[in-house]
Each structure stands twice: as structure tokens, then as C-alpha cells.
A and B are shown apart, each in its own frame.
Chain A
Amino acid sequence: MTPQQKDILTTKLFDSPESLSQEEIELVMSDQELLELYHTAVLFKDSKPSDITFDMDKEWDSMSQRLGLSSDYQPQQNEMAQDETVASASTTVTVSHSIFSSAFWTNRQWRKYAAVTAVFISITAIAAITTHYVVNQNREFAQNESKEPLTPASTQEIVIAEEPSEDPAPVVLQEEKIFEATTLEEIAQELSEAFGTSIEVENNVKGVRLYLRLPQGSSVDDLLTVLGQYESLSVQRDSNGKIFIGHGE
């Protein structure tokens, strides 16, 4: 094939492939260099970061209609989820999608309410025990003071002073962490310091580079959720809280 013929073929390949004749297609197919150039071009085009956005509620509506799910079924939505209905299909940062997905926020919301409820119940229980103790130990004091019920503020003071929580709040990131094409080994090192937990990475995945974004307030659970999105990774946590990252499937 002459250089001129190659110029014509490459112009058609990349500018107007519909104009390729059958004979020209066969020429391309028989030329290793042209095929390699074409595949490099395809890979380049495919790797373009996508900035397409879509409304997840609409997407789900479309899916549920196709499945014929009953109209009385209430879709999973909450205030936080509605704030995050527009999701991005970015191919370079898709791993972070779970952080913004409604499910993630639903879980976080759930945990938040659960934590507040647990603290409230603890405060109430400890206040009752403390009051009982004080009454028994100092009847005179109790008689004088029992006319004045404990205020929430004083109850809280007692709790903080005498009953430190046995289950400390989970460690969360104080600031957003963004890793761009960073090796898993480096990510693990930084996050193990940030979360105060041990993260062990198997040798065969230490060099794997990831795009990872963890917003401020993310916990170890959130990290596990994000890493769990990768088919090629297997993530486990033992009973001591140590995290192991290995090769998946």
C-alpha cells in the first residue's frame, strides 16, 4: 500500500467511515498498522471522561414502568436522596457515585438517626441510674433536690462526667480525600492514618491505581462500600476492624 493510499484510508477511517468501500475495509483489515491506529483511536475516544448527567428518579420511573411494578409501590426517596437525584456517568470517577447515591445517603441518614436515638436513650437511662444512686446516698439532699427535676442540661453534664460512652462514635474524615490515579498502597497508607485503623493490601494489587473520592464525614464503612464497587478487588474486615484488600474474582 502506498503512503497516499494510507492517507486516503486513514482519512476515511477517522472522518467518514461510512464512505469506506468493501474493498477498502478489506485493505484496512489486512494492514496491521492501520488496525492498530484504529484501535488506539477507539480506545482514546472511549476513554473520554463523560459528563453526562441524568435524573435518577426518572431513570427509576422508566425502569419500574417497564417492569410493571404496581402503582402503590412507593419509590425509595428521602430529602437527601432528592438532593442527589442528578447522578453523573463519569467513567473516570464513577467509583464515587456510590457516595452520592440515594442508597448511600439513606444509609447515612439511618445511621445518623440511629446514633442520635442511641445517645438519647443512653442519656435517659444513665440519668435515671444516677438519680437513683444520688437519692440512696444522700436522702436529705435528695429530699431537697427531688422537688426540682433534673434539667436536660444537668443530665448531660452527669453523663459526660461520669459515664464516658463505651462505643465511641466511628472515626470519620475531617476533610474530603481525593485520590487521582493513586496506587492502592498509597491510598491505604493515608486512609489507615486518617481512620486510625490498619489496612493491609495484598502485593498483587498494591500497584493498582484508583480514582477515589471520599467526602468529609466519610467513615470506614463508606470506604468499604466504595471499594466494594470494584470487581477486581476483594475487601474484607476482620473482627478487630483490620481491613484486607486483595484481588477479587
Chain B
Amino acid sequence: MKLTKEQFEQLYRRCFPKAMGLAISILHDQDLSRDLIQDVFVRIWESDSDITNLEAFVYRCVRNACINQITSLSVKERFERFYPIEIELIEDYDQDQGERLRRASDHLLSQREKQVLDSVFDQGQSYKETAQKLDISISTVNKHIVNALKTLRNHFKTIKS
């Protein structure tokens, strides 16, 4: 059953924010995310298929489009764009997992480790900029990053086991 223009617009307005949040969290690129989402909606607009839960369908399509985007890249390109190397990581990823990681970092990491993680991963600053800002050496920045990531990884490994 083809959607009317009104139904289609309503669906787009309802799904776009969440779909963008999902795509940006995976691709870290607003323009690319918007293009992929529009591609998904073009297919829905042109489709005559009966889909029972359109919203869930949209989010699944967006996630799959993100995965396809990543798998089309070489391993080197994935490292460069900070994408997962193993696609299972995206397929298994759920919002709760990320939120648990954030909460764990709050109480497991030292203040300095949190500052370094925030600077490098959240603010996107280089090691050099982070080192200057925090008045520490570049090798200390790396040491804090590695220690913090090891702590988080071990924490979740313990939980899983």
C-alpha cells in the first residue's frame, strides 16, 4: 500500500531525529547520514509493499545502510574513520551498551583518564592538543587512553563472564 504524501511526511518527521541519531553515532558524519536516510525514504516512497511497522522498518534500514557503508570500505579506511572493524560490533550494538560504558567510565576511571578520553574521543582533539591543554606529555596521553580503555574492556569482560 503506497503512502499518501501526508502520511509520508508524517513518517519522515517522526523518524528523522532518531534515524539521524542512530546514523551519526555509527558514521560520525552528518551529511553522509542525511544522504543515507534520504536514500532509505526514497525507497519507502517508491515501494508498494505492505510494511506493518514502518518506523521499526526505517530504523532497521538505516542501520543496515550504515553497515553497508562501512563494509564497502577497506580496513585501512575503517581505521581512519574510526569505524568498527568487526561488523558484528554494530549489529550487536544497542544504545544501552554505550550508556553502560559511559556510566562505567564515570566511576571506574581516574579524573585524568576521563579528561583525556573526553578530549580525544568526545572533543576530537589530537594527542598533541590534549597534552598541551592538560600540561602532560604525548606519551602520557596515550598511557591514560590505553589504561582507561583496558579498565573499561576488563570491566565489561568481567560482567559478561
Contact = CB atoms under 8 A, between A and B. Distances in A.
Interface of A: 7, 10-11, 13-18, 20, 22, 25, 28-29, 35-48, 50, 52, 54, 56, 59-60, 62-64, 66-67, 69, 73, 75-76, 87-92, 94-95, 97-98, 101-104, 106, 181, 208-209, 211, 228-229, 231-232, 248-249
Interface of B: 5-6, 9-10, 12-14, 16-18, 20-22, 24-26, 28, 30, 34, 38, 41-42, 45, 53, 55-56, 59-60, 75-76, 79-80, 82-86, 89, 93-99, 101-103, 105, 117, 120-122, 126-127, 138-139, 142-143, 145-146, 149-150, 152-153, 156
B22 A103 contact: no
Contacts of B42: 66-67
Given A56-B16, A73-B5, A47 B102 contact: yes
Contacts of B18: 89, 94-95, 97, 229
A136 to B, nearest CB: 49
Q: Which 9 A-B pairs have the closest CB atoms?
A: A47-B98, A89-B21, A97-B17, A15-B127, A94-B18, A87-B17, A17-B79, A89-B20, A91-B21
Nearest to B145: A14
A29 B45 CA distance: 41
A50 to B, nearest CB: 6
20 contacts: A10-B146, A17-B82, A37-B146, A37-B150, A39-B86, A39-B89, A50-B25, A59-B16, A67-B45, A76-B6, A87-B16, A94-B21, A97-B14, A97-B17, A101-B14, A103-B10, A104-B14, A106-B10, A209-B96, A229-B18
Nearest to B153: A40
Nearest to B122: A48
SS of B interface (majority): helix
B6 A88 contact: no
B138 A11 contact: yes
Contacts of A25: 75-76, 79
Nearest to A104: B14
Contacts of B12: 59-60, 63
Q: Most chain-B CB neighbours within 10 Å: which of A41, A46, A69?
A: A46
B133 to A, nearest CB: 14
A91 B13 contact: no
B97 A43 contact: yes
Nearest to A69: B5
Given A7-B139, A75-B9, A76-B13, A45 B82 contact: yes
Given A17-B82, A37-B149, A91-B25, 11 more contacts: A7-B142, A11-B142, A14-B142, A22-B76, A28-B79, A29-B75, A46-B26, A66-B38, A97-B17, A103-B10, A231-B59
A206 to B, nearest CB: 14
Contacts of B152: 40, 44
A60 B42 CA distance: 12
Contacts of B22: 91, 94
A101 B153 contact: no
A35 to B, nearest CB: 7
Contacts of A56: 13, 16-17
Given A14-B145, A22-B76, A248-B56, A44 B101 contact: yes
B140 to A, nearest CB: 11
A60 B13 CA distance: 7
Given A39-B85, A64-B9, A76-B6, A46 B139 contact: no
Nearest to A107: B10
